[in-house]
Amino acid sequence: MLEVKDLHVTVEGSEILKGLNLTVNPGEVHALMGPNGAGKSTLSAVIAGKDGYEVTSGEVLFEGKNLLEMEIEERALAGILLGFQYPVEIPGVKNIYLLKAALNAQRVARGEEEIPAPEFMKLVREQLSFMKMDGSFLQRAVNEGFSGGEKKRNEILQMLVLQPKLAMLDEIDSGLDIDAMKVVAEGINSLRNADRAILMVTHYERLLEHIVPDRVHVLVDGRIVKSGDKNLANELEARGYEWVLEESAA
């Protein structure tokens, strides 16, 4: 589904990704771990199409299409959705309005009719209660005045409504208490199916207790230096990153 080949990315003149390779297949959950500044968030930003990242070489394919030539919204409409570490506040724009505009943009791109209002409300209310969110969320401005936990839940709510093919979650666990973490993890687990891939960027092994990944990658200095199964995450938690560095240098 997603193929990243020898990706080199420069931000403001300095190289952050230095030949990254990654393949993600449908149905798989991948966790991308690594120390601060390794380039974890850069990868998801480049895949989503954020400005300010210069791809100097390599390619990124999504279902065989060259992602790097696509506009940000085209990537989203192709089925890629990024859950932000710090979702931005958009005063004046109701949450429900954003959800509906996003869902309808998808449907229109697929040549379908816009969703009828009652059907949309039913869909949203179901997912809302699954995420243990109050109905008032819909009437509030997007992320405005939301607590850290509310923002993260809102990101997952969008995923549940928009049903992406590839869900990318950037540090979705940061700033969550245990209860919120459980709700968010349940939301993510409910997204798991044979056709969907999930790519999680995280610092800590903690999240992976709730969402068991199929593959774990260690990103150090712009390259994936080690990959393994869920046990790798446990090992990282116990031993830190140093040994991986030494191993890869050897």
Kindly tell me which residue out of 162, 186, 190, 248 binds other proteins, with binding defined by CB under 8 A: 162
Are 94 and 110 in contact, with CB atoms under 8 Å apart? Answer: no
**Using CA atoms, how far apart are residues 87 and 184, in angstroms rounded to an integer?**
15
Nearest approach, Cβ of residue 3 and other proteins (Å): 20
Q: How far is CA 33 from the centre of its chain?
A: 13
Using CA atoms, how far apart are residues 214 and 32, in angstroms rounded to an integer? 11
* Interacting span for other proteins (CB under 8 A) from 11-19, 105-113, 145-153, 215-223: 105-113
136 Cβ contact list (under 8 Å, min separation 6):
none
Residue 95 host element (H or E)? helix 95-109
- The two three-digit tokens of residue 194, written as one number: 């044979």
Instruction: Taking the CA atoms of 194, 155, 74 and 92 in sequence, report the sign of the dihedral they define.
Output: positive
Residues between 56 and 95 that touch other proteins (CB under 8 A): 71-73, 75-77, 81-82, 84, 87-88, 90-94
Q: Report the residue from 68, 70, 98, 121 that binds other proteins according to the rule CB under 8 A.
A: 98
Least distance in Å: CB of 120 to other proteins? Answer: 15
Contact 67, 53 (CB under 8 A): no
Least distance between other proteins and beta carbon 250 (Å): 40
Rounded to a whole number of angstroms, the minimum distance from the CB of residue 88 to other proteins is: 4
Q: Is the Cβ of residue 20 or residue 142 nearer to other proteins in the bound state? A: 142
* Nearer of residues 4 and 48 to other proteins, judged by Cβ: 48
Q: Interaction with other proteins in 5-64: which residues (CB under 8 A)? A: 48-51
Strand partners, 3: 23, 61
194 binds other proteins (CB under 8 A): no
Q: Which of residues 123-152 bind other proteins (CB under 8 A)?
A: 141-142
What are the distances in angstroms from CA 198 to CA 31, 74, 214? 8, 19, 10
Give the interface with other proteins as residue ranges (CB under 8 A).
48-51, 71-73, 75-77, 81-82, 84, 87-88, 90-94, 97-98, 101-102, 105-106, 109, 141-142, 158, 162
